[in-house]
Amino acid sequence: MPERPTLLVHGIWDEGACFASMRAGLERAGLGPVEALDLSPNDGSARIERLAEQVDEAASALLARAAAPRLDVVGFSMGALVSRYWLQRLGGKQRARRFVSIAGPHAGTATAWALPKDGVRQMRPGSSLLRELAADEDPWGEVEVHCVFTPFDLMIVPSSSCRLPGCASEHRLLVPLHRFMITAPEAIATVASILASDAPPRSTGE
């Protein structure tokens, strides 16, 4: 298998270390190099645009180290929205091969009404940022997009907000909690299968 550099982008209140199990699973599947960045600040106070700039820097550095033309991006929760912004607004779709969104609040989440912080406000349903991204006529370019979510998510409400238009495949997992979406064996296996596969995508959603 050729080198497939993969960048992991965490969610609110997390650090790159939260992907330890996911990273190990991807590396066992022969993927890599696999790296996870630390978004700062990680508490929802920074706007999504600012965090996406950090993804841009990390992606450029990883591509340079791997001497690869494209990389795969896996974003979890808020990190999925940050990664989406990078793809759509910072030229990421010219440098990414696949984008795996895990439990991302792409249509907003009702839980974002609980905090007044700038980045959290942008994750509220109907926010100007979400409307702008949804209006993009060519959001992905040649990037293959996959959505992984659970109907039991209590952080992304409703869980249907995790879906994306133009998604190549949806993977609906019966994982009991939002947090477990990056540690549950079935979630790790799903992401590894998506990134390792050379076959056309097949939807497993409902």
Full residue range of the structural domain in which residue 189 is found: 6-196
Q: What are the helix and strand counts (H, E) for the chain?
A: 6, 6
Tell me if 57 is assigned to some domain: yes
Task: Please give the pLDDT value at position 3.
Answer: 80
| Cβ proximity of 100 and 167 under 8 Å | no
Task: Please give the pLDDT value at position 180.
Answer: 98
Tell me if 202 is assigned to some domain: no
Alpha carbon distances (Å) from 44 to 48, 63, 114, 161: 9, 27, 12, 18
Task: Please give the pLDDT value at position 206.
Answer: 42
With H, G, I as helix, E, B as strand and everything else as coil, classify residue 149: strand
CATH of the domain at 154: 3.40.50.1820
| Cβ proximity of 76 and 9 under 8 Å | yes
pTM exceeding the 0.85 threshold for the entire prediction: yes
Task: Please give the pLDDT value at position 204.
Answer: 47
Task: Please give the pLDDT value at position 205.
Answer: 47
Tell me if 201 is assigned to some domain: no
Tell me if 95 is assigned to some domain: yes
Tell me if 81 is assigned to some domain: yes
Say how far apart CA 48 and CA 121 lie, in whole Å.
10
- Tally of structural domains, the chain: 1
Tell me if 178 is assigned to some domain: yes
One digit per residue, the tens of pLDDT, for the chain of length 206 reads 568 899 999 999 999 999 999 999 999 999 999 999 999 999 999 999 999 999 999 999 999 999 999 999 999 999 999 999 999 999 999 999 999 999 999 999 999 999 999 999 999 999 999 999 999 999 999 999 999 999 999 999 999 999 998 999 999 999 999 999 999 999 999 999 999 987 555 444 44
Say how far apart CA 165 and CA 184 lie, in whole Å.
26
Tell me if 61 is assigned to some domain: yes
| Cβ proximity of 165 and 134 under 8 Å | yes
Tell me if 84 is assigned to some domain: yes
